[in-house]
Chain A
Amino acid sequence: MQTRPLRITAYTLCSAAGDGRAATLAALRERRTGLTRNDFGASPISTWIGRVAGLETQPLPAEFANWDCRNNRLAWRGLTTDRFIDAARAARDRYGAHRVAVVMGTSTSSIGASEEAYARLDADGRYPADLRRPIIHTPHSLGDFVQYALGLTGLSVTVATACSSSAKVFAQAERLIRTGLADAAVVGGVDSLCGSVLFGFNSLELVSPEPCRPFDVERRGINLGEAAGFALLEKQAPRGEWLLGYGESNDAHHMSTPHPEGVGARLALSDALARAGLQPADIDYINLHGTASQKNDEVEAKLVADLFPATTCASSTKGWTGHTLGAAGIVEAAISLIALEHQLLPGTLNLRVPDLACGPQIQRDNVQREASHALSFSFGFGGSNCVLVFGRDR
Chain B
Amino acid sequence: MTLRVAIEGVSFWASRLPGWETARAVITGEQPPPEAASTRPSPTLLAPTERRRAPDTVAVALEVAARACEAAGRKPSDLPSVFASTHGDLAISDYMCSTLATTPALISPIKFHNSVHNAAAGYWSIGTGSLAPYTAISSYLYTFAEGLVEGATQVVCEQRPVLYVAFDIEAKGALATMASSRGLLGAALVLAPVSQARQHRSLMLTTESVGECHPTPARSAAAPLVADNALAPCLPFFEALASSQPRTLSLALGRQMALNVQVN
CB pair A381 B113 closer than 8 Å: yes
- Interface residue A252 (Cβ < 8 Å from any Cβ of B): yes
Pick out which of these stretches binds chain A: B131-139, B216-224, B233-241: B131-139
**Chain B residues in 8 Å Cβ range of A126:** 174, 177
Pick out which of these stretches binds chain B: A10-18, A73-81, A115-123: A115-123
CB pair B255 A153 closer than 8 Å: yes
CB pair A144 B112 closer than 8 Å: no
**Chain B residues in 8 Å Cβ range of A158:** 137-139
- Those of A356-394 within 8 Å (CB) of chain B: 380-384
Question: Interface size bucket, A side?
Answer: 35 or more
Assuming the contacts A127-B174, A134-B179, A154-B257, asked whether A249 and B126 have C-beta atoms less than 8 A apart, the reply is no
CB pair B129 A98 closer than 8 Å: no
Contact of B134 among A127, A143, A384 (CB under 8 A): A384
CB pair A172 B135 closer than 8 Å: yes
CB pair B118 A380 closer than 8 Å: yes
Q: What's the nearest-Cβ distance from chain A to residue B147, in Å? A: 8
Pick out which of these stretches binds chain A: B8-16, B90-98, B194-202: B90-98
Contact of A383 among B98, B122, B140, B253 (CB under 8 A): B122
Q: What's the nearest-Cβ distance from chain A to residue B112, in Å? A: 4
Contact with A along B99-125 (1 / 0, CB 8 A): 011001101110011111111011101
- Interface residue B71 (Cβ < 8 Å from any Cβ of A): no
Contact of B126 among A111, A155, A383 (CB under 8 A): A383
Identity of the chain B residue whose Cβ is nearest the Cβ of A203 in the assembled complex: B109
> What is the bound-complex CA distance between A116 and B123, given in angstroms?
30
Identity of the chain A residue whose Cβ is nearest the Cβ of B207 in the assembled complex: A181
Residues of B within 8 A of A (CB-CB), count: 65
**Chain B residues in 8 Å Cβ range of A144:** 140
The listed residue with most B CB atoms (<10 A of its CB), out of A43, A127, A138, A160, is A138
**Chain A residues in 8 Å Cβ range of B254:** 147, 153-156
Q: What's the nearest-Cβ distance from chain A to residue B83, in Å? A: 9
Identity of the chain A residue whose Cβ is nearest the Cβ of B121 in the assembled complex: A382
Q: What's the nearest-Cβ distance from chain A to residue B101, in Å? A: 4
Q: What's the nearest-Cβ distance from chain B to residue A263, in Å? A: 7
> What is the bound-complex CA distance between A135 and B179, given in angstroms?
8
Q: What's the nearest-Cβ distance from chain A to residue B181, in Å? A: 10
Assuming the contacts A139-B88, A195-B100, A264-B131, asked whether A157 and B139 have C-beta atoms less than 8 A apart, the reply is yes
CB pair A117 B116 closer than 8 Å: no
* A–B complex contacts, Cβ < 8 Å, 7 sampled: A98-B257, A115-B101, A143-B138, A155-B207, A203-B107, A203-B108, A384-B134
List the interface of chain B (C-beta within 8 A of A).
Answer: 1, 3, 77, 86-88, 93, 96-98, 100-101, 104-105, 107-109, 112-119, 121-123, 125-126, 128-140, 142-143, 146, 149-150, 153-154, 156-157, 159, 174-175, 177-179, 207, 209, 253-257
